[in-house]
Amino acid sequence: MLTDKDEIISTLNMAVELEKKGLKNYLDFARQTKDITGKDMFLLLARDEYDHMTIIEEQRDNIQHCGCWKKAENPHFNITKILPKVKDVQGYPPEEEILNQIHALEIALEFETRARDSYSLLAEKCEDPDVKKLFAFLSEMEQGHYDLLENQKASLTDNRTWLEMAEYGMEPFME
């Protein structure tokens, strides 16, 4: 069980590093992806990883300064409203680029699996209901990322098209 302050802070530091790695990976994938919908999807995931990192850092800082957990809230994340929709694509990229994009998605899927499982395990180890809620929420968010990435991979494999976020249409990155 996670009850010792130093152990909790150490665990939260590891979680921050996990989110930083995800943020960096998604920014790298966005930079490497030529398809605008794929690029925007990776940017959206990077933004979610940044949000996760910020939540964890706030909890860690609160524990370090006052020795207690801040009440966990479920902030609104874009991924919870993502609904895949097939984008109409003309002149889609050559097979070699598709293979590179699928490889990026496979790496991202592996990363999301590790993150989801890590947060799930942390939720099980915590006695405090607020801490448990925070890690369960992060695990659920990582599962949402996994589902999106899996749908993207299937779409590229089957249709050679990227899915776009129906509710957002990716406008936040076009501004």
**Which two tokens mark 136?**
């369960």
Does 79 have pLDDT greater than 50? no
Token representation of residue 101: 């994009």
Q: What kind of fold does domain 5-173 have according to CATH?
A: Ferritin (1.20.1260)
Distance CA(154)–CA(143), nearest Å, equals 16
Residue with the larger pLDDT of the pair 143 and 88: 143
* pLDDT at site 99: 61
Residue with tokens 């990322």: 145
Q: Which pLDDT tens digit goes with each residue over 97-149?
A: 656 788 889 999 999 999 999 999 989 988 878 778 888 999 999 999 999 89
Per domain, the residue ranges of the chain are 5-173
